[in-house]
Amino acid sequence: MPLTPLSPKHKRFIPYTLLGDNRTMRFGDKACSKGAQCKNRDLEHIFIFHFKSYNPQPRYFDIEQTTAGKNLYIGFHQTDPKSAMLIAHSDFLISTAYESTMIGHGVYFARSRDGTENKANRKGAFICAEVEMGRVLRLNPNERNLYRGKNDWWSTHDTSYFCNADPRLDEFCVKSPSQILRWIMVIENGFDSKVFSYGLDREFDDTKCLCI
């Protein structure tokens, strides 16, 4: 367990029992009634009121972009619980290994929790983050490995974004952890014993309003 304080970017842990996929009538929570049309970009809302396959935003190049500094996008990252705890107490680390950097060196994100499944090298913890995209390099399917193991695009762009033939499998890579503005995370069932020890696997007073 890290002895350093939590990063100011780390906003909270979400008990896995509150994830949309684990919703039960014991907690009285309901799925977001707006479904895929939901415009709520609150990170907690995304984790709690939507399912694993939910994409909180259209694919990057299908939405109107704003100027750098306000070019925000929601990304999902999966790793193992130990690494997630290190991130919570510090920040993300840049990936540089050739095998795992298909679109260049950086920190990788998908558009949904589902989208991380075949990309993550480690499993057991999910992170939902708000990311400043900055200047974005578009990579199409025929350019999939153009920057593998490289950082050539860093001099002209802040983010590389791979447009998969299946939009659900898009992924993007930011060159600097400073672009990751804030995050929440969940440790999955089987890895987080605190859910049981703190009684978070059953209804408690704060959930009886039926709002979560």
Task: Kindly list the domain boundaries of the chain, sorted by start residue.
Answer: 10-202
pTM: 0.88
CATH code for the part of the protein at 10-202:
3.90.228
Q: Report the distance separating Cα 145 and Cα 152, nearest Å.
A: 13
Question: Which pLDDT does position 210 carry in this prediction?
Answer: 44
What percentage of residues in the chain have a pLDDT greater than 70? 83
Question: What's the chain's average pLDDT?
Answer: 86
Question: Which value, in Å, is the radius of gyration of the alpha carbons in the chain?
Answer: 17
Residues 153-162, mean pLDDT to the nearest whole number = 97
Q: What would the pLDDT profile of 69-110 be if each residue is shown by its tens digit?
A: 679 999 999 999 999 999 999 999 999 988 889 999 999 999
CB 27 within 8 A of CB 18: yes
Residues 16-29, mean pLDDT to the nearest whole number = 68
Question: Which pLDDT does position 144 carry in this prediction?
Answer: 87
Question: Which pLDDT does position 201 carry in this prediction?
Answer: 57
